[in-house]
Structure 1
């Protein structure tokens, strides 16, 4: 009976009336503030999660989860045996011997620096980030000694197509009687890929492993072995296991150390955005405090009458607590639904806005990605909702306590 009475009175106080019209306006702004705060926080955190996942998926698609390199300039010898040992480890998906080297690519007087990956055809086909994003040509001719695969941005800068030839310049030249002469070799473009990241589409090329060994003078060695594992987020144990398997003659680096600056930058930005957007909910909670305090002042006589009719301090406190909490809880639920719906359809919304405005809101040249990613983390959404609930409940406590402490005799003395 008491709960039904509390709920009925609390909901009645939330209805707008002539006398408390301004209070209702403040309550409405509090509702909108909490709604927008929760929705914005969910949307931004989902975009940050999607951006992080997409960014590292593309980075790891090129470089692997763990890199094994030799300790000397002669490279990593006996690599086939090392690859066999690594593949026998439980968590390993694949192990690929590669040669990585900085070089220069030339075409009709135009030159650009590139990172050359020497790799076998079978291993390149397994790299779905590249093999599934071939936009021109094919990988069928990659087995030829002079084949090369380049990115779309590099092809545009060089103004070349599959079948055209380009020249690679090695970082170390050939000694002659007149000094060092550059070491050059022509390659025929067999395919062009587009993964949506400017850094890779414009500066990474692939050539056959055997050709790279000859060109970079590593006839019986590779520069390293790239390893893909099943659980890249929990990689510390795998790194130790690989070191124990190969011995002290190899240097092992995992993707977290190799890309530490990206991971730290994304994590810092994520935490800062969470803190800033939480302030929106906090400000909206202060509005609840203001609206409840004004409501208590307007309902002084009602409180006194309810007390004289037998209502306890706890019931009065519960009435105003339910009034304030209802505003916040409704805003939280509506904001959560809006934020989740927006995050699930964010790419469609982006395209609609771009079409209507005629502008590019998310340029791959700046953000490294070709589309706006979003990944909803259920635990993160739950944390946002719980945090919002706590702020709303805390905001409703003080005005409710003040209402319960009112003395009915003082309130009715001059009536």
Structure 2
């Protein structure tokens, strides 16, 4: 009751009340800022993981020792491993794409329709066109940012240039072919929407010369005078793949899944690279940044806690006569400590709860607020070219929120101990001497 009265300001105590209110606002801002920043960083990491692992897989299996002609059988065996969701095979190469007067480097990936359907992220990202009849289309799929860069739209021709073309008496001639744009997709990640291009598997095999021709079984030596038609009939065309991607149920179980895959009997020799190895530096930097940001922003709450100390010390000085009267009426030192501890802690509790509500509201509407600020000021806030993603993601972790609230409440309580102890040490005689 006494602590509650001290929290309610009277006219002569207005200055102390203003300091307490500002302290409360400081705690609320610190808590809200921590919740919003940690939620955005969690969302950023989760969204990047979803996008990166939604296309590139948790393992990349690269064949060694021989040409990767048995890719279909290899993928079937990989999918039988316990813990593997699915696997896909593909052809991949680098090329220069040229559109309506503009050119840019691209990563070309050849996949058939069956494997594209396994990649829900890619299959559902088609904004224009569709994947129906993909294998027979002999066209390409590009991201909307790449389409803007090249100045093309659905149905336009894109010329792809690969320096590793055919051998001629004058050297290597570049491989140059044009393909119509059949699909324009939006994956929501700048890297994929700007630099990735997909084409049917057989078209990619032809373009990158990943085709092996061997004599059909039972065929003897060919007649040196055989015609081209006879030669074509005698040879069997075998397409090759560049590598396979393996998608597992638990992205964090890479060590266990590596052991299971490597223990597959009669599996062809392959080099396995997991997603942590491919993105080790990037995700390590994200983790370090999360820890540093939490530490730095916690200083806001720490500053507010010092304000609690300052406001309580002023309150104790102002209430010295009241403390003396309470002591002469029989109040113990412990009671005096409890009064001022409750007063200071109440400021921290109210500030923390206010910051909690404010932080959760802002974190839940982070993208809407970003778009509003960008449209209002006419300035790109969190530009996708820098932050990789087209929108500002947010994912609130209840455990982290609980830690933030606990830190704020703990610091608020600790900040009350010294002023409350000082109040309990007041000598009633000295306090009332000049009253």
Measured against the shorter chain, the TM-score band is over 0.9
**Aligned match of 1:100:** 92
1:241 aligns with 2:234: no
Note the C-alpha offset of 1:248.
7.6
Of 155, 159, 175, the residue aligned with 2:167 is: 175
* Residues in 1 aligned to 2:162 and 2:376: alpha-carbon distance in whole angstroms: 49
1:154 aligns with 2:146: yes
Match runs of 1:6-405 below 5 Å: 8-72=1-65, 75-107=67-99, 110-144=102-136, 146-219=138-211, 220-245=239-264, 249-405=269-425
Note the C-alpha offset of 1:108.
5.7
Is the contact between residue 100 and residue 151 of structure 2 (CA under 8 Å) also seen in structure 1?
A: no
The change in CA–CA distance for 1:45 and 1:75 in structure 2 (over 3 A counts) is farther
* Residues in 2 aligned to 1:34 and 1:358: alpha-carbon distance in whole angstroms: 31
* Residues in 1 aligned to 2:240 and 2:260: alpha-carbon distance in whole angstroms: 23
Residues 202-250 of structure 1, C-alpha deviation per residue, up to 9 Å, x if partnerless?
2111111222223223234321111112221332211222122275811
Note the C-alpha offset of 1:270.
1.6
Is the contact between residue 69 and residue 75 of structure 1 (CA under 8 Å) also seen in structure 2?
A: no
Structure number with larger C-alpha Rg: 2
Note the C-alpha offset of 1:276.
1.4
Gaps of 5+ in 2: 212-238
* Residues in 2 aligned to 1:347 and 1:252: alpha-carbon distance in whole angstroms: 37
* Residues in 1 aligned to 2:346 and 2:293: alpha-carbon distance in whole angstroms: 27
What TM-score, normalized to structure 2? 0.89
What TM-score, normalized to structure 1? 0.93
Is the contact between residue 30 and residue 288 of structure 1 (CA under 8 Å) also seen in structure 2?
A: yes
* Residues in 2 aligned to 1:24 and 1:165: alpha-carbon distance in whole angstroms: 71
* Residues in 2 aligned to 1:75 and 1:397: alpha-carbon distance in whole angstroms: 73
Note the C-alpha offset of 1:292.
0.5
Is the contact between residue 102 and residue 151 of structure 2 (CA under 8 Å) also seen in structure 1?
A: no
Is the contact between residue 43 and residue 340 of structure 1 (CA under 8 Å) also seen in structure 2?
A: yes
* Residues in 1 aligned to 2:160 and 2:423: alpha-carbon distance in whole angstroms: 81
Is the contact between residue 213 and residue 222 of structure 1 (CA under 8 Å) also seen in structure 2?
A: yes
Note the C-alpha offset of 1:75.
4.6
Is the contact between residue 75 and residue 224 of structure 1 (CA under 8 Å) also seen in structure 2?
A: no
Residues 151-198 of structure 1, C-alpha deviation per residue, up to 9 Å, x if partnerless?
112222222222222222234122211122112233222111122222
Is the contact between residue 145 and residue 211 of structure 1 (CA under 8 Å) also seen in structure 2?
A: no
Note the C-alpha offset of 1:51.
1.1
* Residues in 1 aligned to 2:101 and 2:311: alpha-carbon distance in whole angstroms: 72
**Aligned match of 2:227:** none
* Residues in 1 aligned to 2:248 and 2:14: alpha-carbon distance in whole angstroms: 62
